[in-house]
Structure 1
Amino acid sequence: MQVRLGAAPGVGPIVAACLLARMPELRRLSSRQVAALAGLAPFDRQSGNTSRPGRCPDGRPSVRRSLYLAALTIARSGKGDFAATTRRLRGAGKPFKLAIVATMRKLLITLNAMVKNNTKYRNA
């Protein structure tokens, strides 16, 4: 399974091992649940008429760190579908961190689907 995860862009043996060790729930949870578990799902913090931007609280720090480094590698390489997501968001005027977190979430959801369906990575 680790070899299969390593086929995805930005995911090396360390990121794959971290995901398998720190997130044994992969393949059993939905994409939303996996993203929330990793701390990549924005939650609204609104009360009354106040409107604040969504935050991604909590999550598992080691998983979040390894996905951050993978997404950063993807964004710097500029190749593939995940890098296109980062470029598209940056082109729309979104902050760099927001674009990286969106790439992290997309990467994690893709990896979860790969493990769940027992398939190899393929470009969309």
Structure 2
Amino acid sequence: MNILIGLRNNVYADYLGYNLRLLGHNVKVVEDGIDIVNLLFSKDWDIVIVGILVSYYNGLEILERYQKYCDEKLKEQSNFVKAKFFIGSSFYDQVSMQQAKSLGATDYFVVPLDTDELLNNILKK
């Protein structure tokens, strides 16, 4: 699987990436919103994990842009497959969680979460 990770907590993002690589996945970890957006639209990803707060962009803005991109791609390619999109936050926020879900996020999680539990949820959904 191709997995893109962009979280504000770089140490946690690197740790997630390390564990996913150990499981045999192709993982790219980036540090800011500009890199996330550039990579998000330049390659087909199976899973995208983005923080609610990253530099230059809000994770919800990135998700909304991605959904619009996917809608256009589906018009061009009927077999286009959207990535599973996960939003991470450093605190539980009901409003952000509901916004993420309404924008099409696969799930919303609070960082740091038990890594094994998070990996199981990401790879299972």
What is the TM-score of this pair, normalised by structure 2?
0.28
Give the structure with the higher percent helix.
Answer: 1
Higher relative contact order (CA 8 A, sep 6+): 1
Larger Rg: 1
State the TM-score, normalizing by the size of structure 1: 0.29
